[in-house]
Copies of this chain bind each other. A is one copy, B any other.
Amino acid sequence: MPVKTVQVTEKILASNASVAEANRAMLDAAGVFAINLISSPGSGKTSLVEATVRALTPGFRIGMINGDTSPAALDAERGAKAGAAAVHVNTAGKCHLEANMIGLALDSLPLDGLDFLIVENVGNLVCPSHWALGTHATVLIASTPEGADKPFKYPASYRGVDALVLNKIDLLPYLDFDLNLFTRGVGELNPGVSTFPLSCRTGEGLDAWIEWIVAGIARGKDRK
């Protein structure tokens, strides 16, 4: 009898993909535009959530699903304080969110009352990029103090994303950040990706980002 090989990783990812499709169907039925925010720890995911929620409310109603490796719901609390309906997912040490975690979190959100959902993934530039969640766009946040070489060192995360935020541009005068190197790296991996240099701290550059989100929300309504 031939040896049977079980493709564990492929099967797990295929199962994840089908749950992600179900999540997408729920979001589309409710007319909600959803993004998956990925970045290194400390690049400013939660700061971008806060700035985005403040810019868009009360005109739009926003939900947040926040993934953290610990039981502390610090980031979800910041999102809620800014005005989002926020759910905290404790991954209990796991390094990324998976579609079934999003499915459970969606059950706790008033989807029909939302326009826009931000999923804030675990801070990790390696693992989250392998896992579809059912969102409509994946957004990578880079930050200037991380250095301009990151596209070359974490290509899988840069390759697949639909938009790129370069946060903390207010720190550029105090850093040796080589913008040409960064732009070249991004261009090689993901030519033409929508890119938003901004500072959540000063507000510089936020307008273009907010316009991009508002256009996504309009597409979400059309899908309903």
Contacts and interface: CB of A to CB of B under 8 A. Distances in A.
Contacts of A171: 145, 171, 174-175
Interface stretch (A48-56, A97-105, A108-116, A120-128): A120-128
A154 interface: yes
A153 interface: yes
Contact of A41 (B69, B75, B146): B146
Interface in A131-182: 143, 145-147, 149-150, 152-156, 168, 170-171, 174-176
Given A40-B41, A42-B145, A95-B95, A74 B152 contact: yes
B42 A93 contact: no
Contacts of A147: 42
A218 B17 CA distance: 53
Contacts of A95: 95, 124, 126-127
A72 B150 CA distance: 11
A155 B70 contact: yes
B125 A123 contact: yes
Nearest to A168: B145
A28 interface: no
A125 B174 contact: no
Contacts of A149: 74
Closest 8 CB pairs of A and B: A42-B146, A145-B145, A95-B126, A40-B41, A41-B125, A40-B40, A42-B147, A72-B152
